[in-house]
Amino acid sequence: MRRLLKNRRWLIPALFLIISITIVSITLKKDYVFKKLEVPVINTLSPAQKILSRVGFSIKENLDMIPQLFYMKEENENLKKQVAELLQYKQNIIEYQRENADLRTLLGFKERSFQYDLEAAEVIARDPSNWFNVILIDKGEKHGIKKDMAVITDEGLVGYTISTASNTSKVVLITDERSSVSAMLQRTRDNGMVKGTIDPAPSGYLKMEFLPQDANLVKGDIVISSGLGGIIPKGIIIGEVAEANKESYELMQYAIIKPAVDFMKLERVFVIKGEKEADL
């Protein structure tokens, strides 16, 4: 024992290991300890991150513009067609909304048209590792943002907040392995669980698990959040089915989902703080 203590070569790594395990277990179990360390560091670095991320986005935007110049005319024509189609859809939706409201009144249901109370935020930093997908946004507790709030863009679901500081929040993206969102197929209403990048889904894609064996999956089916779990409100677009397969034990099916949001170009997001009555 004495000889072991005299030999300092073992002592330093052993001490390092003990201290490391202690730090990990303390910060893992006690949120407030981690927060005390987190807030000053984030508050110091976030102004610089905000400026640099704006520079980064403008560079990326300009780089993306170059190939687009060649397809501009074609794209313009397609967009015009899309606008015409969407205007038609809009008219149809207004009609359906009115019809739905009338029918609900007839049936005695409570009016259920809500809008989200949104807080716009800018993405100021991204997780540098290749394993996790976490972003930092420039709004936090001061703006009414709390842990476990859904984050979206106009395209669809981005993720949810996992931690907040006074002026910033950490958002785990739906492509992160640790993320899990209850979802359903918009067309067939079959329920499942959408998880982040896990084999066999290719990088950047999602996997929808626990789909019933008899679920009628078609490529291109829209996947929306089901609202179960309480974090993500119902009806937010997650993505579309890119591929459908049976699990190896064949009791369930799974689908590879292409996310609706382009996470490479994620610049501005909205945090859903709650629901408010729609202005009809």
Partner 1 sequence: MRTLAYVFTLVALLLVQTTLSNILWIFGVKPDLPLVFALCMAMIKGEKAGALMGFLNGFLEDILFGRFLGLSTIVKSVTAYIVGYGSRNIYKGPVIITMALTFIGSFIFNFLFMVFAFLTREAAQSWYSFFSIVIPSALLNMVISPLIYHGVFKMERFFDFYFDIKY
For partner 1, the closer CB: 50 or 187: 50
Considering the complex, what minimum distance in angstroms separates the CB of residue 150 from partner 1? 18
What Cα–Cα distance (Å) separates residue 140 from each residue in 32, 122, 229, 242? Answer: 16, 11, 23, 35
For partner 1, the closer CB: 179 or 225: 179
> Does 38 engage in binding with partner 1 (CB under 8 A)?
yes
For partner 1, the closer CB: 128 or 230: 128
Q: Is-contact 50 122, C-beta < 8 A? A: yes
Q: Is-contact 43 165, C-beta < 8 A? A: yes
> Does 32 engage in binding with partner 1 (CB under 8 A)?
no
Q: Is-contact 141 180, C-beta < 8 A? A: no
> Does 124 engage in binding with partner 1 (CB under 8 A)?
yes
> Does 198 engage in binding with partner 1 (CB under 8 A)?
yes
Instruction: Name which of residues 138 to 167 contact partner 1 (CB under 8 A).
Output: 162-163
- When binding is defined by CB under 8 A, the residue of 121, 136, 185, 237 that contacts partner 1 is 136
- When binding is defined by CB under 8 A, the residue of 14, 15, 20, 86 that contacts partner 1 is 20
> Does 27 engage in binding with partner 1 (CB under 8 A)?
yes
Question: What is the C-alpha separation between 237 and 156, in angstroms, rounded?
Answer: 5
Considering the complex, what minimum distance in angstroms separates the CB of residue 69 from partner 1? 19
- Cα of 168 vs its chain's centroid, Å: 16
What are 12's two structure tokens? 């330093």
For partner 1, the closer CB: 134 or 150: 134
Considering the complex, what minimum distance in angstroms separates the CB of residue 154 from partner 1? 19
- The angle subtended at Cα 87 by Cα 85 and Cα 89, nearest 5°, is 70
- When binding is defined by CB under 8 A, the residue of 100, 104, 116, 126 that contacts partner 1 is 126
Which residues of this protein are in contact with partner 1, per CB under 8 A?
20, 23-24, 27-28, 34, 37-38, 41-42, 45, 48-49, 52-53, 55-57, 59-60, 63, 124-132, 134, 136, 162-163, 170, 177-178, 197-200, 203-204, 264-265
